[in-house]
Structure 1
Amino acid sequence: MASTLQSALEYVKNARVHLIGELRNLSVILEILHQQGVLIDEEVSKIKGEKDDYDRTRAILDSVTRKGEDACYKLLRIIYKTRRRTLERNPEVLFNSLVLNTEGTMSQSKVKSFKKKKSKMSRPKKLRTYIPENNPEISPTDLLKTDKSILLVGKPGIGKTALSHEILRLWSERDNKELDYMFYFDMRELTNIPPTMSLEDLLFTACSEPDERKDEVLQDIKSNSDNVTIILDGVTGLSLLVVKKLVDKDLLPDAKIIITCRPEDEEDLCPEDWLRVEVKGFSEETIMTYLSSALGENHRKVLSNVELLTLCHVPMYALMVAASFSSEDSLQPRTVTEIYINIVRFGLQMNSNKTRIRNLNQFIKTKRNGILSLAEAAFNATERKTVNLEELSCEDGCVLSFLKTLDVSTTCTKTVVKYAFLHYTLQEFFAALWLLKNPDKIREVFQQCLTEEKKHMKHLIPFMCQLLNEENPSLMSCLIPAEELKETSGWFFKEMIDTLFSKDKDTEHYVDILFFCQCLYESQSSDACISFLSKLNFHLDLCGENLDPYSCCAVAYVVTQSKGRKIRLNLQDVTVSELGMRQLFGCLENVQWYDSTCFVSYISYKVIY
């Protein structure tokens, strides 16, 4: 077997922010580390002498990482074997409890018929033809066992990477004596790759090179490609020739390829005879189980907050809510952006040198230059569609705690260390911060969203919508003067609506109503909602849409803002969850007309989340 994930030392360093505060029963870990010769008596005594578990955990991680790869590997094995006693949360919940939905194989004839039917449709409407008609159960083990290549589709933070890592873990732990190979690539980490890169360079330079007999290994891979699995995580297109040839099965015809992508990138791939799996996130039952294990009795406060509960169907948001949840009576987040604001504030506090910070806002102001420098690097990387941060001038360890290190191979013998955010959505959040500090660039980004090459920049807009909200100054007031934000807010929403509604005379223009609703929900601005509804003549046509709980929450919010005029709402043939239906029912008093067939047919739907 061959594995190509990060080293144990890198893993411990990157997971440090999660391990600090989450490890418990430290005496168990210390005892085993001592028994295995990782720590000596003096080190154990010194660690036990720290004033609290927070400092003891930091001391353990510092000692182990100083000792290198072997010590880190032993620590990870100890944590894994004792996880029920030593971890606050069950680390397996993120992939074992994901709801996966598959419609089976995309046959060649079916793809051709789809293409013929879709040719006259606008881009987002084409994607609806892939919405599954049934909901068979499928597990990571099933995905590993199938011989078919797999397309994993899902929104940001829904668990695609966690699922692909779980497949890799299951493969590495199989009791299989036959030689086989699995390669994992984070596609956003692959930058500055020459267009002429060969298969050998991709596997052995960009990934991992065998210790010896490289030519024999490569020949075995080519001759027995049915023993090869390649995971391409975070694919946004097939511009890299060697990747396109892998997907088209020109290089390794019998290899199993697993691709993860966001929904908007799916059509560009459109692989034939692949198993398409939609990652749906957490079910309501799983949300309650996870939050109960993570927060104890405090989980009831989340369950009583319908907006927050709705957001938690996305595993990334559930994790962040649990990590930064406040048991006090302060306002809990309602929007995605507020969750990120909370986690940034929490991260800065946890990684400061002080155990307690009486005035966190004042502390954040002292980190202003470092945060904005990191935000600029995030924006530049997002524009380039990469996670590799270049020209990173910030050296503040507290600010850099949101990053992980990447060892990027430039040649067979040379590796350079680069930095990336812990999650790509966190990079997009910081990129939005930088845009609000540089509002002259915002109009340019609006225009970029209308282009095929830069359409991914639209994910920055919902973050900006909430960050401009004057009622939630807990982060922005520490970074950007209030008068500057107010001036930007004065034109931002009108410019956003006018630009994204603009029509090209030569092409059919599609208005992504769901995206607008999500932006407006993030903004929590009634005036912006009315302006948007006026553009649509107060008619929301969501016919055929696949509405996740967050989308339902956003649509319901926009509808309820129209106090003086009823909304015509078309929900014919929508796919919706039970949790989402509760949100939609709550806004019907503001609806003048809707297609009732969707509510009747809903009764026969199987709950999909």
Structure 2
Amino acid sequence: MACARQSAIEFLKNARTNLVTDMKNLPLIIENLYQQRVFNKHEVDDLKAERTEFDKARCILDWVSKKGEEASYELLRILDVTKKRTLHPDLHSRISCFPFRWEDEEVSYSFGTKPCQNYQTALKKKAKRILKYQREHCCKYLDGKAQVNFHFIPVVLERDSVMKTPQYKIKWNNKKCKKLRPKKLRAYIPTEQQALSPVDLLRCQDKNILLIGKPGIGKTTVVQEMLRLWAEKDDRELDYMFYFDESVLSSSSNDDLESILFKVYLKPMEKDRKDVFQDIEENSENVVIVFDGVVDLEENSTLWKIMNHELLPDAKIIITCRSEVEYDPLFSDWPTQKVYVEGFSEESINSYYQKMLGHDPVLLDVVLKNQELFSLSHVPMYAFMIVDLIQFKNDNVFNHQNTVTEMYIHIFRVAVKKQIEQIDKYLRENKDQTFVMLF
């Protein structure tokens, strides 16, 4: 109750010792005070001229207190709304103790300085370009209807599960050996036992997440869905998200942190470079870094130091790897939350084919009534190949029950035919040149 009787000036006076040392991200505080007209341009310039962070914090508190109760109240509002970025965690409960007026209007505070906001906007545009390229790369194999319906279908994610292989399930669930083949095939399709989604992974408090799965099972799709969620929403919890694929991981280990973020990934405006890098380093709890497809990282390289939080100590690090890499010494001492990507559930398989093939019962029956193809479809990459194959058909290849071997043979034929068509097109377009072909 004593807290409720305090004025804003008294609260700042009593908390001054802690605030001077535990306020952080001072440029953001100053920016909001300027936007709310507590400080003018000259005062902002004078604050920037102060040599140390301690001096800047001291001046902010002293100048605001001298401006009176409303200015002091505004500073407390700013600190409360932006506390994850501007206050040490020990002060979060204390600042929330102040009796803010319930009738306060909703004020739009900045959660980053102008240079940082500009770079965050550019990062989201970069993320959308990555996703657009991935979509176009996949959709070039599909017809127009499937391209429209091409979007994320949930895959089964199991947190720290005891991985039960199909052989394990067959052995224990079918004690009477030589059960029917359909039952064995269904053992490959995962069952979703707990709700875990890309949103959950993005929001969870775990700082290290290892996404594990076999090739084509959906690891890249999951992290790119996380990238999409961040890029398309106004997320005040995460300021920066960087996505590095295998090509970057294999060629950038010797670069320093600033070069990896700005030279390799996305360069900010030159005048903003210092402010942005300082914000990333000092507020790394608002940073997510994805390493998609880790096989090996050179010890003590910059990427290795990021992974082990020697750099960006509070950032969320998300790594995807294949199942055989899980027990590599690289991860043996890495405290992590393991998440197993197990592919499409039965519901997702049905949903995927309905989206990609429409509701034509003839086309759907090609897969949904073929237990071998249906079982294979728990791997999203195989499901994609089957869709491409069905759409490419120009004969009665699917008028009978196909084996997986027949499907692979037909895919090979299609791939060869497409390659020959591309070579033929290239030769026609360059018919005036002389070619020497070696076989």
State the TM-score bracket (shorter-chain normalisation). 0.5 to 0.7
Shift in Å, 1:174: 2.3
**What TM-score results when the alignment is normalised by the length of structure 1?**
0.39
Deviations 1:84-130 (A, max 9, x none): xxx55632343xx21110028xxxxxxxxxxxxxxxxxxxxxxxxxx
CA contact (8 A) 2:237 2:286 kept: no
CA contact (8 A) 1:188 1:234 kept: no
1:334 aligned to 403, 413, 417, which one?
A: 403
**Counterparts of residues 174-573 of structure 1 (less than 5 Å):** 174-177=233-236, 180-193=239-252, 196-212=254-270, 213-239=272-298, 241-268=301-328, 269-270=331-332, 272-295=334-357, 296-297=360-361, 298-325=363-390, 326=393, 328-330=395-397, 334-335=403-404, 339=407, 342-343=410-411, 345-346=413-414, 364=420
CA contact (8 A) 1:102 1:135 kept: no
SS at match of 1:172: helix
Unaligned runs of 5+ in 1: 25-86, 105-131, 353-363, 372-393, 399-479, 481-609
* Mean Cα deviation higher: 262-271 or 225-234: 262-271
> What is the one-letter code of the residue matched to 2:335?
D
Shift in Å, 1:16: 5.7
Please state if 1:103 is matched with 2:160.
yes
1:91 aligned to 129, 150, 153, which one?
A: 150
CA distance in 2, matches of 1:91, 1:248: 36
SS at match of 2:243: strand
> What is the one-letter code of the residue matched to 1:165?
Q
CA distance in 1, matches of 2:127, 2:426: 23
CA distance in 2, matches of 1:143, 1:17: 25
**What TM-score results when the alignment is normalised by the length of structure 2?**
0.53
> What is the one-letter code of the residue matched to 1:313?
H
SS at match of 2:327: helix
SS at match of 2:326: helix
CA pair 251-396 structure 1, distance change in 2 beyond 3 A: farther
Please state if 1:3 is matched with 2:124.
yes
CA distance in 2, matches of 1:182, 1:315: 25
CA pair 190-342 structure 1, distance change in 2 beyond 3 A: farther
SS at match of 1:260: strand
CA distance in 1, matches of 2:151, 2:138: 18
CA distance in 2, matches of 1:347, 1:219: 49
CA pair 180-283 structure 1, distance change in 2 beyond 3 A: same
CA contact (8 A) 1:4 1:182 kept: no
SS at match of 2:383: helix
> What is the one-letter code of the residue matched to 1:22?
D
Residue of structure 1 in register with 2:47 after alignment:
none
CA distance in 1, matches of 2:373, 2:428: 31
Residue of structure 2 in register with 1:173 after alignment:
232
Residue of structure 2 in register with 1:544 after alignment:
none
CA contact (8 A) 1:228 1:256 kept: yes
Unaligned runs of 5+ in 2: 1-119, 162-189, 430-438
> What is the one-letter code of the residue matched to 2:260?
L
Please state if 1:18 is matched with 2:139.
yes
CA contact (8 A) 1:231 1:258 kept: yes
Residue of structure 1 in register with 2:104 after alignment:
none
Report the identity percentage: 38
CA distance in 2, matches of 1:333, 1:232: 38
CA pair 89-340 structure 1, distance change in 2 beyond 3 A: farther
How large is the RMSD of aligned CA atoms in angstroms? 3.7
CA distance in 1, matches of 2:384, 2:306: 34
CA distance in 1, matches of 2:134, 2:159: 36
CA contact (8 A) 2:131 2:228 kept: no
Residue of structure 1 in register with 2:34 after alignment:
none
Deviations 1:171-215 (A, max 9, x none): 11222357711100002344444x532111111122111123212
Residue of structure 2 in register with 1:163 after alignment:
222
Shift in Å, 1:333: 5.7
> What is the one-letter code of the residue matched to 1:184?
Y
Which is bigger in relative contact order (C-alpha 8 A, separation at least 6)? 2
CA distance in 2, matches of 1:13, 1:303: 27
Deviations 1:327-361 (A, max 9, x none): 853267633x7656544544565x68xxxxxxxxx
CA contact (8 A) 1:320 1:339 kept: no
Residue of structure 2 in register with 1:137 after alignment:
195
CA distance in 2, matches of 1:318, 1:169: 22
CA distance in 1, matches of 2:287, 2:280: 7
> What is the one-letter code of the residue matched to 1:258?
I
Shift in Å, 1:242: 1.1
CA distance in 2, matches of 1:287, 1:189: 32
CA pair 12-245 structure 1, distance change in 2 beyond 3 A: closer
CA distance in 2, matches of 1:255, 1:182: 10
CA contact (8 A) 1:150 1:275 kept: yes
> What is the one-letter code of the residue matched to 1:253?
P
Shift in Å, 1:137: 1.7
CA distance in 1, matches of 2:293, 2:395: 38
Residue of structure 2 in register with 1:128 after alignment:
none
2:205 aligned to 133, 147, 153, which one?
A: 147
CA pair 338-207 structure 1, distance change in 2 beyond 3 A: farther
Deviations 1:270-316 (A, max 9, x none): 35432211111111222123223333212112223222111100011
SS at match of 1:278: strand
CA distance in 2, matches of 1:397, 1:275: 54
CA distance in 2, matches of 1:23, 1:221: 42
CA distance in 1, matches of 2:313, 2:127: 27
CA distance in 2, matches of 1:145, 1:187: 25
CA distance in 2, matches of 1:172, 1:7: 7
> What is the one-letter code of the residue matched to 2:222?
L
Q: Which has the larger radius of gyration?
A: 2
